Amino acid sequence: MATNRTFTMIKPDAVQDNHIGGILGMIEAAGFRIVELQKVQLTPERAGQFYEVHKERPFYQDLVKYMSSGPIVAAILEKDNAVADFRTLIGATNPANAEEGTIRKKYAKSIEANAVHGSDSDENAQIEGEFYFG
């Protein structure tokens, strides 16, 4: 399977706060090519489906509500070693633990409103990309 694509979403708080350009700028500056791009608002049903792997987690209901609270930007990104390099670029899920220079260090507000999503494997990158662009 190709290891050169990943999938990302810019989450509702970052879109609301006018950080689409800033975040896409950091992504391009890090050497990723934007292959697909779409601004869209998820229904609670679609948000729930996207995050179905987390449905037993205590934060699931809040996450679904948050992710459907306003528009998001979904994108497929291309670069060598895309999944791992993108996770390095975005930083830790909890922005309190995110390294200096990462997208979440700069833009995330909380563990939930953490500015961006990044796929955690090649397999999930494929599935998540198809969820929007299939």
112, 117, 115: which is closest to 59 by C-alpha? Answer: 112
Catalytic residue among 117, 118, 125, 126: 117
Query: Binding residue for ligand CMP (CB under 6 A) from 30, 84, 111, 127?
Result: 111
φ/ψ of 81, rounded to 5, equals 55, 40
Residue 116 makes CB contacts below 8 A (sequence gap 6+) with 8, 9, 10, 11, 14, 23, 90, 103, 104, 107, 108
Q: Is 19 considered catalytic here?
A: no
Q: Applying CB under 6 A, which of residues 36, 78, 85, 112 lies at the interface with ligand CMP?
A: 112
- Of the candidate spans 31-39, 69-77, 79-87, 111-119, the one that interacts with ligand CMP by CB under 6 A turns out to be 111-119
Under DSSP, the state recorded for 42 is -
* 63 binds ligand CMP per the rule CB under 6 A: yes
Taken in order 32, 24, 52, 91, is the CA torsion positive or negative?
positive
Nearer to ligand CMP, 30 or 109 (CB): 109
Taking CB under 6 A as the rule, does residue 93 contact ligand CMP?
Answer: yes
> Helix H segments across 4-109?
12-16, 20-29, 44-50, 60-67, 82-90, 103-107
Q: Pattern of binders to ligand CMP over 10-49, x per CB under 6 A?
A: ----------------------------------------
Which residues of the shown chain bind ligand CMP in the complex (CB under 6 A)? Answer: 54, 59, 63, 93, 111-112, 114, 117
Active site (catalytic) residues: 117
